[in-house]
Structure 1
Amino acid sequence: MMDWRVGVWTAVGLTYATWSAAEATWMARRRGSGGKPLVSERRSTLIMVGAGVLGEVGAVALAWRAPTVPLAADRTRAAAAALPAVWAGLALRWWAVRTLGTHFRATIDIREDQPVVRTGPYRHVRHPSYTGGLLAVAGAAAVLNDAPAWLVLTGSTVAALLYRIHTEDAILIHHLGPDYTDYAATTPRLIPKVW
């Protein structure tokens, strides 16, 4: 019989491989589809990628040494506890991407036929794919089993997402007008019934 620790680390490895493959597939499928955008903003995408890389490097560097403030009795227990959050975040992100369909982009692109999507997870928050991504990153950071490392990775993600949400909302309000303004007035940004 397989030791439960091996099962946890196998699940962690498969989760990260699946996550990476899904992200790469979504980006590749959407690149160049749907014609030329009316507006395309890429700076916030670069900031998100940069913050992610810096956060990961910083978190791993902190966790590489002996954890100063462990989150669980050992790293395997932290990973086992964190996996459901990662899976829930990935499922929410997948649901959001599927709901947007051909309107999903890695960059902020406005197309001529751009609707205000209010179905699926967009009934509850304006940016559910970011909510899912943040939940997955927070869970992934917990696998390191080090509170300072968790704060660095989760904090860098939150900072980048705040910039991205501010930028995206401003562009959508400007180009989609009252329809998006009305939607924004009644739908929280990231956390249902909170913000």
Structure 2
Amino acid sequence: MMNWRVGVWTVAGLTCATWYGVEAAWMARRRGSGSRPLASERRSTLVLLGMGVLGEAGAVALAWRRPTVPLVGDRTTAALVALPAVWAGLAVRWWAVRTLGTHFRATIDVRDDQPVIRTGPYRYVRHPSYTGGLLAVAGAATVLNDVPAWLVLTGSTLAALLYRIHTEDTILIHHLGPDYTDYAATTPRLIPRVW
């Protein structure tokens, strides 16, 4: 039987290493255009990071208490359920970053040569990298195998993403105009065919 603490740290470590490794590789590879940003916003990035840290700390603290409220079977089963969700989420995020190519930025940064991307995962949702990130976090939270811990980690991530999506959509509508407004009117934000 797998020690659940080993499972927690293994999934968390693999998630973080892969997530940041893929993102760092794409940031290093992107050449970007020489154009200056029309709009740049960093507060929502800080909100994402802050809520991530608070959510992780709260979830781990809840999962260490006794008794826990199991999410799925035992902790070994939870780890086995978590890994496919984590890797699927990272794959969706990677697909989104790859589709954006040189237009990918870690912060909200609108440039004058920026088109509205409608290919790849952007055919299905406006913010697929956030969809992938949320799926990866929900998967990683599953390994804790505790309903309150899962709700805290997934909920804090979702709250931060909702703030980020609202901020990003507002900026993109303002700077990209009717092209983005038309895209937004026909493409869900985060979940295909739902919202």
Residue in 1 that maps onto 2:62: 62
Matched, 1:34 2:45: no
Distance 1:63-1:27 versus aligned 2 partners, 3 A rule: farther
Q: Tell whether the 8 Å contact from 2:15 to 2:140 is kept in structure 1 after alignment.
A: no
Q: CA–CA distance in 1 between the matches of 2:67 and 2:93?
A: 30
Q: Which stretch shifts more, 36-45 or 11-20? A: 11-20
Shift of 1:16: 4.1
The total of aligned residue pairs comes to 190
Residue in 1 that maps onto 2:138: 138
Aligned residue for 1:38, secondary structure, equals: strand
Shift of 1:17: 2.7
Residue in 1 that maps onto 2:80: 80
Q: Tell whether the 8 Å contact from 1:67 to 1:146 is kept in structure 2 after alignment.
A: no
Matched, 1:95 2:95: yes
Cα RMSD of the aligned pairs, angstroms, is 2.1
Cα offsets for 1:108-144 (capped at 9, x unmatched):
0001100000000000000000000000000000111
Residue in 2 that maps onto 1:185: 185
Q: CA–CA distance in 2 between the matches of 1:112 and 1:64?
A: 49
Shift of 1:22: 2.1
Distance 1:58-1:27 versus aligned 2 partners, 3 A rule: farther
Q: CA–CA distance in 2 between the matches of 1:23 and 1:78?
A: 27
Q: CA–CA distance in 2 between the matches of 1:155 and 1:91?
A: 21
Residue in 2 that maps onto 1:47: 47
Distance 1:27-1:145 versus aligned 2 partners, 3 A rule: farther
Aligned residue for 1:118, secondary structure, equals: coil
Aligned residue for 2:114, secondary structure, equals: coil
Matched, 1:164 2:179: no
Residue in 2 that maps onto 1:122: 122
Shift of 1:27: 4.7
Q: CA–CA distance in 2 between the matches of 1:109 and 1:146?
A: 37
Q: CA–CA distance in 1 between the matches of 2:26 and 2:58?
A: 27
Unmatched segments (≥5 aa) in structure 1: none
Q: Taking structure 2 as the reference length, what is the TM-score of the superposition?
A: 0.89
Q: CA–CA distance in 1 between the matches of 2:29 and 2:153?
A: 28
